[in-house]
């Protein structure tokens, strides 16, 4: 199975708790196999089994309380 890695820029993350919140919400999306959020850079690396809908990712990040600035 081919996996796709997409990197997103998320604004507002400042600590490990922020990383966990974003990771938890994005991990719940269908097809997502791993999420690595780094508050220091604002980057969220998502690995999935197929292309993700940017609006679904945006909604998940919003649910966590942060803002998706876009893909890197």
Per-residue model confidence as pLDDT tens digits over 43-57: 999 999 999 999 999
Whether the Cβ atoms of residue 10 and residue 21 lie closer than 8 Å to each other = no
Query: Across-strand partners of 44?
Result: 8, 37
Q: What is the predicted pLDDT for the residue at 2?
A: 83
Please give the pLDDT value at position 59: 98
pTM: 0.94
Contact 26, 54 (CB under 8 A): no
Which residues on adjacent β-strands are paired with residue 32? 48
Residue-range domains of the chain with CATH: 4-71 (3.30.70.100)
């Amino acid at each position: 199975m081919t996996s796709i890695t997409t990197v997103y820029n998320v604004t507002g993350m400042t600590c490990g708790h922020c990383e966990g919140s974003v990771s938890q919400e994005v991990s719940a999306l269908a097809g997502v196999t791993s999420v690595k959020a780094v508050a220091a850079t604002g980057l969220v690396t998502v690995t999935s089994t197929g292309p993700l809908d940017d609006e679904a990712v945006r909604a998940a990040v919003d649910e966590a309380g942060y803002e998706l600035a876009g893909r890197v």
